[in-house]
């Protein structure tokens, strides 16, 4: 209250703004490592796009000495959950190294879980399932069946670092500027239809996939049933988890390139398909909509998805969420706002706004 009983104006952070959330990504296509200071500064520039209920980072190339081993980042609610998880992991994996994830105490962070990372090798299997599918199944089992345990990163030579807080807090907590990577993504969360908690923060990951998302998916129920029929377990009640699994299913398991996957997730409207002059293109677009109709993502969204060789930006087909791309030499940028790019790259060689439904794909050259 102000003097005289007058009410102070409400700040923007007192509202659930559905168009908020901030995403950012930086990639050196030559694979050169650089400090997390840049992505930290970029996402903090979009502070007002969050409300302290979630933030996080993904980094690729950070474990060069252990690059051939699966790196599991796991959060626990209790030591009992940790013990049960470690017993389970012994069944399919050989432990190469394990340690608490290094963190720095931040007074403003509350309800911090127990955070561990494991570097693992798969034991010989029956040859029916690929190594990636076995790791996927292990991740699903822990997240679904072990109470108080959550695998939030499970790729090789990469890691996700996330939690409930503003990006300034989460970045300091995980000591993000101390890591060096060739590809970084970051997120500042303003939850819409899901609660803000450590596991529900972005990025979401599976294997070497990581995904940050601004938007709201109205087709969540249909998309969830579709990926669950393909063997994924959705345990977090959030649309971003489903989008991560959709990319894994379409690109890794079905072998699509990113342009084709975008034609599924952000498929053109039927009337636009029928107006396509090229009959082959028209037939392909029609076939994708028919075969993969349940994978169509409805609602406004802007995502940055990454794997060990790519950074991809994608909007919904009518571009209801902002996404900007830029390049400076061998370094590429994608973000919700141009200001988040220019604060770390004041004079880019080029800046552009990606078209709705058309992916911006950045790939390693080596």
DSSP codes joined into one string, 177-217:
GG-EESEEEEEE---SSS---TTTSSPEEETTEEEEEEE--
Say yes or no to pLDDT of 158 above 90. Answer: yes
Q: Which of 21, 44, 234, 345 is catalytic?
A: 21
Helix (H, G, I), strand (E, B) or coil at 290: helix
Residues 6+ apart with CB under 8 A from 133: none
Q: Are strands 180-181 and 34-35 parallel, antiparallel or unpaired?
A: antiparallel
Annotated catalytic residue 343: no
CA–CA gap between residue 36 and residue 167 (Å, rounded): 12
Answer yes or no: is 193 within a domain.
yes
pLDDT tens digit sequence for 264-284: 999 999 999 999 999 999 999
Helix (H, G, I), strand (E, B) or coil at 272: helix
pLDDT tens digit sequence for 1-56: 333 444 444 444 454 555 579 999 999 999 999 999 999 999 999 998 988 889 99
36 forms bridges with which residues in the sheet? none
Give the Cβ contact number of residue 84 at 10 Å: 18
- What is each CA distance from 242 to 74, 238, 297, 337, in whole angstroms? 19, 7, 10, 25
Mean per-residue pLDDT over the chain, rounded: 92
Answer yes or no: is 97 within a domain.
no
Q: What single DSSP character describes residue 267? A: P
Domain that holds residue 342: 19-59+164-363
Answer yes or no: is 157 within a domain.
no
149: left (phi over 0), alpha (psi -120 to 50) or beta: beta
| Nearest Cα to Cα of residue 146 among 215, 76, 196 | 76
In this prediction the pTM is 0.92
pLDDT tens digit sequence for 186-245: 999 876 666 778 998 999 999 999 999 999 899 999 999 999 999 999 988 788 999 999
Answer yes or no: is 158 within a domain.
no
- Phi and psi for 45 in degrees, rounded to 5? -65, -25
Answer yes or no: is 297 within a domain.
yes
Answer yes or no: is 252 within a domain.
yes
The pLDDT assigned to 6 comes to 46
Q: Do residues 249 and 242 make contact, with C-beta atoms less than 8 angstroms apart?
A: no
- The total number of structural domains in the chain stands at 1
The pLDDT assigned to 13 comes to 47
Answer yes or no: is 132 within a domain.
no
Helix (H, G, I), strand (E, B) or coil at 359: coil
Enter the tokens of residue 154.
């499970």
Which CATH number do you get for residue 323? 3.60.20.10
- What is each CA distance from 355 to 29, 248, 322, 352, in whole angstroms? 22, 23, 10, 9
Answer yes or no: is 125 within a domain.
no
């Amino acid at each position: 209250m102000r003097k005289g009983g007058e009410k102070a104006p409400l700040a923007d952070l007192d509202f659930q703004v559905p168009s908020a959330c901030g995403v950012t990504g930086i990639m050196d296509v030559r694979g050169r490592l650089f400090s997390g200071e840049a992505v930290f500064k970029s996402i903090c520039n979009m502070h007002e796009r969050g409300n302290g209920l979630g933030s996080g980072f993904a980094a690729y190339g950070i474990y060069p000495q252990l690059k051939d081993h699966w790196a599991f980042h796991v959060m626990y609610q209790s030591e009992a959950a940790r013990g049960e998880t470690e017993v389970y992991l012994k069944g399919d994996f050989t432990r190469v190294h394990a340690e608490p994830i290094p963190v720095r105490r931040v007074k403003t962070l509350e309800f911090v879980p127990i955070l561990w990372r494991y570097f693992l090798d798969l034991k010989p299997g029956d040859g029916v399932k690929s190594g990636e599918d076995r790791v996927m199944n292990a991740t699903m089992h822990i997240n679904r069946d072990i109470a108080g345990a959550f695998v939030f990163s499970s790729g090789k030579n990469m890691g996700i670092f996330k939690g409930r807080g503003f990006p300034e807090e989460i970045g300091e907590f995980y000591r993000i500027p101390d890591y060096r990577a060739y590809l970084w993504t970051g997120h500042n969360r303003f939850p819409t239809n899901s609660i803000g908690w450590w596991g529900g923060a972005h990025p979401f990951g599976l294997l070497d996939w990581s995904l940050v998302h601004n938007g709201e998916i109205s087709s969540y129920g249909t998309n969830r049933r579709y990926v669950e029929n393909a063997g994924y377990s959705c345990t977090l009640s959030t649309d971003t988890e489903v989008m991560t699994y959709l990319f894994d299913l379409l690109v890794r398991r079905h072998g699509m390139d990113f342009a084709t996957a975008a034609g599924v997730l952000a498929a053109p409207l039927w009337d636009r398909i029928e107006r396509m002059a090229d009959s082959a293109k028209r037939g392909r677009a029609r076939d994708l909509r028919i075969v993969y109709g349940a994978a169509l993502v409805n609602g406004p969204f802007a995502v940055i998805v990454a794997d060990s060789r790519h950074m991809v930006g994608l909007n919904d087909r009518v571009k209801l969420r902002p996404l900007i791309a830029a390049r400076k030499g061998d370094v590429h940028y994608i973000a919700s706002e141009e200001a988040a790019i220019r604060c770390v790259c004041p004079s880019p060689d080029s800046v552009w706004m990606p078209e709705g439904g058309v992916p911006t794909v950045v790939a390693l050259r080596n």
